[in-house]
A and B are shown apart, each in its own frame.
Chain A
Amino acid sequence: MTVLATFTRAGRTPSPPLLLVVPALVVGIGTLLPVFYLLMRALDADASQLGEIVFRQRNLFLLLNTLKLVAVVLTLGTLFALPAAWLVTRTDIRFKGLLSFLMALPLAVPGYVMAYALLGLSGYYGFARQWAGISLPPLHGLWGAGLALSLYTFPYLFLNLRAAFLGMDPALEESAQSLGKSRLVIFRHIVLPQLWPAMVASWLIVGLYVIGDFGAIALMRYEVFSYAIFTQYSGAFDRTYAAWLSLMLLALTVVALSAQRAVTRNRRFARTGTGSARITRPIGLGRWHLAAWAFFALVVLCSLGLPLMVLGHWMRLGVPEAEWAHLGRTALGTFLTAGPAAVLTMVLAVPVVVLTLRHPGPFASLIERLAFVGYATPALAFALAMVFFALRNAPFLYQSYALLMFAYVMSFVALAFGPIRLALLQIGTRQEEAARALGVSPTTAFMRVVLPRLRRPMVAGSLLVFIMVVKELPITYLLAPMGYSTLAMNVFSRTNEGMMGDAAPFALSIILFSSLFVGLILKYEGSAARAAGK
């Protein structure tokens, strides 16, 4: 444990307790497994092949496509999320709660459903033509994939930006105003720099999601790394090349992670001081009310209206025979995988975040980065790595519930970091120290003083993971125990066979199911500091 030893000496903080180190090691090792697997696969290639594989022209093409897609998704997503977050936090627009809910709700829409919605809308057979007689140009490729992805990932940006707006000290904007600056100048020079860390952090989350996503991209037939990886595995069956592609994807992730650190260095926390609970005087929208509502209507129509309309259309076309019992069983199955996965993720995420904040050092930041690598690893590669390791080292784990849980937790643990981190920063260390000065051990102090106040962010984080697991496909597909199925698996298998009408009830259930939890996220997020426990 030389890493630990050196870090203790250098940081001079007391060495972290095992209670933190063990979960951190589990996360570190768990997220490294796929990397090991990919390396082993990649090294299968003989030396003569190697150069050809690595420097294949196609890699550059895939890389460019991936980057283009990330750029399109982040741009579109920010165009949706930034104005929305500003409108619900800074203006006098009404129904802020409802609007926030609607802006967060697209989280519940699975990527493949969104892609189907866009595909179903456009083209010769699209229902835009059938219903309205308008033949939209078929939406696929870069713009189709970009639009689909941004329409269901922008809620991450929205939630983060909204939290950042709410956490900002209004006194800064007010003093800039008193110095005679215009709204626009204030936004550019005061608000934007403060939003920057939250913006970059959520760009990272969304960007990593985009490069690892597969469902929407496959349907849109846009060739990026994850799509190529899938076709290599399923069609061409060239696992070595697939492994190389996955490794390149991971390299891209590492670059993105270091870029994020470089860009937000020295200003990692949006909020200075304890922040202010004071509400700024909302900006009167006046004549702009109409424009604001039109904006929200358009976003809601695209992100929620479209998929719902398409699902409704499918249900009308082929009225499915009553599958209610099966639907209920799968819904229960989904719940029974997503629930424990969310709880387990939180159990691992809290110690890791505590480690990074209270015992900062090379070990802690390594684990944190590995967790992000786990999140960005293409789910397919992740799942295959798990299959490979299970068959090799612990065959009894193959297609077991435990392994499925483990894979979920390792790929989503990074998602849970954000809310916990913010809450821990807001709570600070004073109260723990006060408890210790009263004669209580550090562990007990944390359990009794900090943990109860982490309840809300923990719930918010678990719900986010819960929704991700509900929508997740490749890991579930490869690792689910025999005879076990989730809503997402049903949607995918049915749409894959063109049975859109059959798939619709399952897809609708996912959306309804998840939307319930999106509402809960809004209820729980960001209110850690004032959790008085009453």
Chain B
Amino acid sequence: MRMTDNILLSVRSLTRRFTSSGPAVVDDLSFDLDAGEILALIGPSGCGKTTTLRMIAGFETPDAGRVLLSGRDLTSMPAEQRGIGMVFQDYALFPHMTVGENIRFGARRKGREMVARYLGMVGLDGFDQRYPDQLSGGQQQRVALARSFAAEPRLILLDEPFSNLDAALRSAARREIRRLLKSAGIAIVFVTHDQEEALSFADRIAVMRDGRILQNGAAHEVYDRPADAFVATFLGRTNLLEGTAEGGFVRTSLGLLPLTRPASGRVSISLRPERLGIRAVEADEQPNGRIVAVEFKGHDMTYWVDCNGVEVQVDAMQSIRLAEGTPVCVAVDGEAVPLGDSKQ
């Protein structure tokens, strides 16, 4: 729990089981969210993230735990009285109403200029007479957002907001919507299973698994210092190595490496591929690895290198191009992250 007095949403020990004897889908889950902050709930499918979102919205009743908005307990309040917006994965626009009617549906203020203002906000000026089926996926999403904004909530929940957009549209939509939300000062909790989406869209990331939050922190912090092997592999690619730690260093098959925090004894460590450097051996040099596979990705390349029996992946820019079978020197640039035990 962070210490701020700006907390908007507090989720306290939420628990939900679908069958009384079965495992909890959401298990004693707690987090806080500041006003205007964007939080990503990320995890594999079935980890309980959508159920969590639906309990915050009020569409699902928790078995235990509380949901507080600005300190007020909402747990037993019906969805429509909570003042929390929700945008669904398929946007759930009302197909029998025009864009304008959709936006007016839940609007706090009525009137023509209100619709125009919100449409302008999402860059869809002049679309108010269209029907949802006359819009592209991206436009539908923006109408759904405008409809949510018009109800003037302080918090909006987004369920897999970008999954229905094609790849080309996705990153542009993300940037634009993030800018919009930030300027409107609306707090967001969104659910995704896409790590790139979580990292680029959220201020803070909560990684979920089996109904629990494994790690909750700023996006860069969770990426740079994953708490365990699951978080490390789920949020981007990584090399998991075994080593013996002593103080601030760990001995691995790649040599003696500095650690982000002191540890001792047998540890697992995570080393992001971009933290490794690779170069061809010089004349009198002893290689410490051999390239076993090369993945060409355009902007950069990934090399799979066999280092004394351990395979590691190395991301390198285009400046060097090495072929399969080349003996190489792999060097570590940065610190290794010792990992806690992850529940299997």
Interface residues of A (CB under 8 A from B): 12, 14, 430-431, 433-442, 445, 448-449, 452-453, 530-534
Contact = CB atoms under 8 A, between A and B. Distances in A.
A440 B151 CA distance: 10
A532 B99 CA distance: 12
A261 to B, nearest CB: 21
Contact of B80 (A436, A530, A531): A436
A437 B61 contact: no
Contacts of B78: 436, 441-442
Given A437-B57, A438-B105, 5 more contacts: A433-B57, A434-B86, A437-B148, A439-B80, A533-B96
Given A430-B90, A433-B88, A441 B96 contact: no
A305 to B, nearest CB: 42
A440 B58 CA distance: 13
A431 B92 contact: yes
Nearest 7 CB-CB pairs, A to B? Answer: A438-B106, A533-B96, A434-B92, A437-B86, A430-B92, A436-B79, A436-B80
Contacts of A434: 86-88, 92-94, 144, 147
Interface residues of B, number: 31
B79 A453 contact: no
Contacts of A433: 57, 59, 79, 86, 88, 92
Interface string B53-79: 000011101000000000000000011
B83 interface: yes
B90 to A, nearest CB: 6
Given A14-B61, A532-B131, A534-B131, A435 B97 contact: no
Interface of B: 57-59, 61, 78-81, 83-88, 90, 92-97, 105-106, 131-133, 144, 147-148, 151, 157
Contacts of B147: 434, 438
Nearest to B60: A12
A439 B106 contact: yes
Q: Chain A binding site: helix, strand, loop or mixed by DSSP?
A: helix
12 contacts: A433-B86, A435-B94, A436-B59, A437-B79, A437-B80, A437-B106, A439-B81, A439-B106, A440-B106, A441-B80, A445-B80, A532-B133
Given A433-B86, A437-B86, A437-B148, A453 B106 contact: no
Nearest to A430: B92
A442 B95 contact: no
A431 B87 CA distance: 10
A453 B132 CA distance: 14
A439 B131 contact: no
A12 B105 contact: no
Nearest to B16: A12
Given A430-B88, A433-B59, A439 B83 contact: yes
A533 to B, nearest CB: 3
A445 B85 CA distance: 15
Nearest to A529: B95
